[in-house]
Amino acid sequence: MSDLRTLLGIEHPIILGPFGGLSSIALTAAVSESGGLGSFGLYGCDGDRIREIGAELRAATDRPFAVNIWLPRGDEVAPNPQHSVFAQALQPFYEAVGVGVPARPERYIPPLDEQLDAIWEVAPAVLSVVFGVPSAEVVDEARRRGIRIVGTATTVAEAIALAEAGVDAVVATGAEAGGHRVSFLRPAEESLVGTFALIPQVADAVDVPVIAAGGIGDRRGVSAAFALGASGVQVGTAFLAAAESAANDAHREAIRSTAADETVLTRALSGRLARGARNRVVRAIEASGTIAPFPMQNWLTGRFRTPAGQQNLGELQSLWMGQAAPLARHDTAAAVFAELSRGLPHP
C-alpha cells in the first residue's frame, strides 16, 4: 500500500474536511501551507464559480489542495409546483432576515458534468467525492490528468465499493462527524457506524489508504486513528472554529459551547441527514413536520440561512459540527494543525 503522503504529495497526513458553503480560500490554503491537504467544498458551485475558486486557490498556495463534489444519487428533485408549498411553510424565517419568499428557480444545483468540466480545468491535486462511487469515466479522466480521487464511506460495504471502483484512498467517516452523513448504499439512518468500530474494519477490507474522519479534534484522536489502522486523518469541526474558516462568530461560539450529546442528526435544513446543533430553526422545522426533499429543502433554507449568517443570527443558521466540538480550543488553522500533528506516529 502506498504512503498517503507520497500519494497526495503532502508532508503530513492531515486533511481538512471540505465544507459545503463554509469553505474558505484562507483556510484551505492555510492547511496546505502547513503541509497537509487543504480541501474546498464545491457543493452548489457552477462551472464559472469553480474556475474562480481554482484561480484563487492557485494564487493563495502552490501546495497541493483538494476540491470536493457531491455525486448525484438519483433521488434529487427538480423544481416543481410543490416548491411554492414548501417555500410558504418557511415564510417566518424569510421574514426574520428581511427577505421575500423565493420564487421557483430554473435549477437547485448545477449538473455534475458542468462541475467536472471546470474541475478538469482547475486540475487540483485531489478530487474527493461524497454520496456515491465515481464512474469509470471520471476515474479514468482523473487518472489521465494526474488527479488523485478520494471516495467517502460510512460503512465497510461502501468502502469496498469505492476501492473496487479504483479510488486512490477512502475516507471512513464515523457517525460522530459533523455535517452531512454521506451514505449511499443504504439509508443514512441505517449506516451510523462509529469511528472506533469503522476504521479498523475498513482498513482490513480495502487495499488503499484509509483516512479516518469523525470525532477527531486533537492529538489523542489522531493517535487513536493511526492505532486503528488509518493512514491519515480528516478533520472538520476543529478547523471550522478557526479564524480562517467562513464560519461566523455565532457558529464558532456554538461549536465551543455545544456539548457532545447536544448535537443532533436532522433532515430539517437540507432534506438529507446531517449533524449539527439543534438550534431554533431546526426545532421549528422538525416540529412542523414539513420538510421538502433534497435538494429543494437545502435550496429553500439556504435563502434565509445565508442572510442569517451575514447577520450573525446563529438560531437561523445551519450550525454544522461533530461530537468532538468541545475539543475545538484553538483559534487559528496553524494552531489546530500543530495540535493534530503532535498525534502523528513518529517515522
The domain 4-75+109-256+323-341 having CATH identifier 2.40.40.20: the answer here is: no
Grid-cell match 461533530, residue found: 322
Q: Tens digits of per-residue pLDDT, 197-218?
A: 999 999 999 999 999 999 999 9
Q: Across the chain, what does the average pLDDT equal?
A: 97
Share of the chain above pLDDT 90, in %: 98
**How far does the chain reach from its first CA to its final CA, in angstroms?**
16
Q: Tens digits of per-residue pLDDT, 127-149?
A: 999 999 999 999 999 999 999 99
Domain ranges of the chain: 4-75+109-256+323-341
pTM for the structure as a whole? 0.97
Quote the CA–CA distance of 327 and 15 in Å, as a whole number: 17
Alpha-carbon radius of gyration of the chain = 19
Q: Tens digits of per-residue pLDDT, 266-300?
A: 999 999 999 999 999 999 999 999 999 999 999 99
Quote the CA–CA distance of 113 and 130 in Å, as a whole number: 16
Q: Tens digits of per-residue pLDDT, 147-204?
A: 999 999 999 999 999 999 999 999 999 999 999 999 999 999 999 999 999 999 999 9
Backbone angles phi, psi at 66, to 5 degrees: -115, 150
